[in-house]
Amino acid sequence: MRMSAIRWLSSALALALAVLPAGAETATFPARSGSGAGVTAWWQGKVCPGDAVFVRLALGENAPSGKIGGSLEFEKDGKKVGTAEFYEVPDSSGRGRRMALAGIPLSSYLSAGKGTATARLTAGGAEIQPAMMPIEIVAKEFVKETIQLDAANTAIKTNDSDERWRQISKLNKILGTRTDADVFSLAPMLPPTGATRRTSFFADRRIFAYSNGKSSTSLHYGIDYGIPTGSKVRSCAAGKVVLAEMRITTGWSIVIEHLPGLYSLYYHLSKMDVGVGDMVSAGQQIALSGATGLATGPHLHWEMRLNMEAVSPDFFTGDFTFEEAVRNP
């Protein structure tokens, strides 16, 4: 009894250590002589496959005025992994610095190893001193599972109707929309339910076994919480509701925009409490959970998309924008 409890505790601890992102790293990259301005950068030195590389920058006092732009690039083993554009965010420390943020989604299939993020910021069209930051990708195991579908769920999964394809293209258009001014939340996100029982995990490698004997493979894009129909569902952060409707595969569905290119998604709901265009606060009730759409039982599916890619929701419950690091240097 005692030994197994200790073994459980130590394996839970090992899991927590493997999953928790490291604290923020920070460094100042001074201006080269005659080149104008330097930057101070915040980033995470260690992230996992399926997380994201976020970098926050504060411009030096001599930075040119005008619109902030430029790009962040992440490279590993000499290959470009991804890029993203910077957008302006407020300096919540009260020091009045001009600040920028950018985030690159990382595939859950990315291998472990060391990489480099390079920020090439511009202000008023002028280039600022580039900042280069070492980032290590730490290996993470993902679950493999086979899910048996009955005839009704098989029909949903293999639905090839125009209506379903219209729904998919509408959602993709929303998730591909990136509006620089839409900075609604920089705080660490809250889980959308108080329940902690997870019936599926982010990036599970799935095989769907159909009722007709055929099968297909897919990746699970979010976290499933096993909660009874009618449980409260809360927005994980402040934002704007950009989709709230019935969909063939995902049932009653809500999508909320939080930052340029960053969205949270809630599926299989039974009752909707918000509509498109509504502004919501962090923790605000937006719906009741259910089992609508493709579901083998009542559950809440919570998903995060960054620049269209599904990323680990758990990543966003940490200080991913470095808001706390900036406030408490």
- Using alpha carbons, select from 247, 199, 201 the residue that is nearest to residue 220: 201
Please give the backbone phi and psi of residue 50, each rounded to the nearest 5 degrees, phi first.
90, -10
Residue nearest to Zn ion (CB): 301
Residue count, binding to Zn ion (CB under 5 A): 2
**231 vs 321, beta carbon nearer Zn ion:** 231
For the CB of residue 9, give the shortest distance to Zn ion in the complex, in Å: 29
Task: Specify the stretch interacting with Zn ion by CB under 5 A; choose among 164-172, 179-187, 297-305, 308-316.
Answer: 297-305
For the CB of residue 142, give the shortest distance to Zn ion in the complex, in Å: 14
- Give, in order, the Cα–Cα distances in Å from 135 to each of 53, 198, 238, 311: 8, 30, 29, 17
What does 98-160 look like in DSSP terms, one character per residue? -EEEEEEE--TTPPSEEEEEEEEEEETTEEP--EEEEEEEPP----EEEEE--HHHHHHHT--
Cα separation, 319 vs 44, in Å, equals 10
**224 vs 323, beta carbon nearer Zn ion:** 224
Please give the backbone phi and psi of residue 168, each rounded to the nearest 5 degrees, phi first.
-65, -45
Close Cβ partners of 191 (under 8 Å, ≥ 6 residues apart): 236, 302, 313, 317
Task: Specify the stretch interacting with Zn ion by CB under 5 A; choose among 95-103, 218-226, 238-246, 249-257.
Answer: 218-226
Is residue 305 close enough to count as binding Zn ion by CB under 5 A? Answer: no
For the CB of residue 301, give the shortest distance to Zn ion in the complex, in Å: 3
Residue with tokens 């995060």: 304
Task: Specify the stretch interacting with Zn ion by CB under 5 A; choose among 31-39, 76-84, 183-191, 301-309.
Answer: 301-309
**130 vs 201, beta carbon nearer Zn ion:** 201
**219 vs 274, beta carbon nearer Zn ion:** 219
Interface residue with Zn ion, options 51, 182, 204, 224 (CB under 5 A): 224
Cα separation, 214 vs 316, in Å, equals 36
For the CB of residue 205, give the shortest distance to Zn ion in the complex, in Å: 14
For the CB of residue 268, give the shortest distance to Zn ion in the complex, in Å: 8
Interface residue with Zn ion, options 98, 140, 301, 305 (CB under 5 A): 301
For the CB of residue 323, give the shortest distance to Zn ion in the complex, in Å: 28
Cα separation, 94 vs 96, in Å, equals 5
**124 vs 297, beta carbon nearer Zn ion:** 297
Task: Specify the stretch interacting with Zn ion by CB under 5 A; choose among 6-14, 85-93, 160-168, 220-228.
Answer: 220-228
**249 vs 317, beta carbon nearer Zn ion:** 249
Cα separation, 122 vs 30, in Å, equals 15
- Using alpha carbons, select from 75, 305, 274 the residue that is nearest to residue 178: 305
**100 vs 294, beta carbon nearer Zn ion:** 294
Contacts to Zn ion by CB under 5 A: 224, 301
